[in-house]
Amino acid sequence: MPELPEVEILKRSLKKKIKFCKVAKIKIHNANLRYKVPQLINQNLKNHTVLNVSRISKYLIIDFNFSKKLLIHLGMTGTVHLVKKNNKKYTNASFYHSSSLPKKHNHIEIYFKNNIKMIYNDPRRFGYFKLFEKKYLLNNLIKNLGPDPFSSKFNYNYIKKFIQNKKIKIKILLMNQKFLGGLGNIYANEILYNCKLKPTKSVNLLTKKNIQNLIYQSRNTLKKAIKFGGSSIRDFKKTDGTSGNYQHNFNVYGKNNTNCPRYSCTGSIKKILISKRSSFYCPKCQT
């Protein structure tokens, strides 16, 4: 599943390609995603212009004129492809996919009047499209999401208040979307390594210095991932056709039984399960 950096890269790429473009038509080949895609989506968005492309947590938001907003969640296997008319070359703009346009599972096609076609492909169909014509309806959907890691709301006082009287593992806290929007398993592992915190550490044992470092390392780790174009676990490609390569900079994720990369640490990376998710850490320098 794509995490915040991959969705951020997709957002930035789409913003360059489709901002200020007008929708010519929308074709729905299979409406049966996680939630059924409304057939009237073509009627509602035809001849409407994209004003902006933004991200909230792991959600993409496409803003149209007349206050209409299209929310896209990629689910587990959703990908976005951009195709130019009369050009066989296309760009796979999403995470977890092959380097060639799939022949199956192309569920939605959005045609723009500048001859660009945006294709949504999703083999497992856990992703979804939702159209909102009133801002408060969108706000109702996302109101339970925690702050973005880059938001000023993600600060010491917020964390201290959230973890008060809690005795949960720090890894579980980081992956709780009600606590922090956008993080998943990969970056939670990397952030905790950079903080020198064991993923099983109880949040009630965090010191002020731990919390301040958690804020810093969350932002720093994600910034680096965005800079490197996201993580290509299979074939994530940005809309310029290049692969994300942050996976080459992983310190612990997927590194079971390898030497800890931290200078002067002689430990080795260990894999454990936390809430049925793989967790990687160095028992020697993460405490």
Judged on CB neighbours under 10 Å (0-12, 13-18, 19+), 78 is: buried
Query: Quick check: is 2 catalytic?
Result: yes
Query: Quick check: is 12 catalytic?
Result: no
The active-site residue out of 125, 196, 224, 277 is 277
Query: Quick check: is 3 catalytic?
Result: yes
30 φ, ψ (degrees, to nearest 5):
-150, 110
Short-list 26, 128, 28, CA closest to 78? 128
Angle separating helix axes 208-227 and 4-18, nearest 10 degrees: 40
Q: Two tokens at 96? A: 């977890």
Contact 280, 251 (CB under 8 A): no
Short-list 158, 156, 190, 194, CA closest to 175? 190
The active-site residue out of 11, 58, 69, 238 is 58
Element (H, E) at 130: strand 128-132
Task: Round to whole Å and give the CA distance between 178 and 173.
Answer: 9
Query: Quick check: is 5 catalytic?
Result: no
The active-site residue out of 3, 6, 8, 190 is 3
Contacts of 102 (CB under 8 A, 6+ apart): 121, 123
Task: Kindly list the catalytic residues.
Answer: 2-3, 58, 277
